[in-house]
Amino acid sequence: MLDAEVQPGMIDGRGFTADEFITNLNGQKLVIDSLSSLILKFGIDAGVQCILSARDVAVTRNANVVFTFYPELHPRVEEILVMRAVDIILELKEVIFMNEIERQLAVHKITGMAVPRRLIPFLITEKGIELSTTSRVV
């Protein structure tokens, strides 16, 4: 954890070197919050190397790795390098319609698969994210 309060079960990575991020990846469900902070601190080469090393760790352990990444914080060339290095890109959007907030999931990339051609509405519940499987008809 780099960007938020460290909770039980999390590792405080604020004092890590770039290499220590990889050596401290433990478990089956890995979340690095955030890749943006890692890139700002160590540079894009260290960020891409972290992605590639984390992918190797995930494949070896049959684990999942999620990186949070803040768009428009980095130069476009860095965003492109990150997009090329990862297997899946999901964007969580928030749209306000008058007095309603609609949250939408955009799938931009899934390696080896076609991506949905629409935004998928979702709700944030106490159990996590709940995707809406119905479509609006206008």
Per domain, the residue ranges of the chain are 1-86, 88-138
Quote the CA–CA distance of 97 and 119 in Å, as a whole number. Answer: 15
Q: pLDDT band for position 29 (50/70/90)?
A: confident
Q: What's the whole-model pTM score?
A: 0.80
Quote the CA–CA distance of 106 and 117 in Å, as a whole number. Answer: 9
Cross-strand partners of 31? 66
Q: What is the pLDDT of residues 36-93, one digit of tens each?
A: 999 999 999 999 999 999 999 889 989 999 999 998 899 999 999 999 999 999 999 9
Q: Do 107 and 124 form a contact (C-beta atoms < 8 A)?
A: no
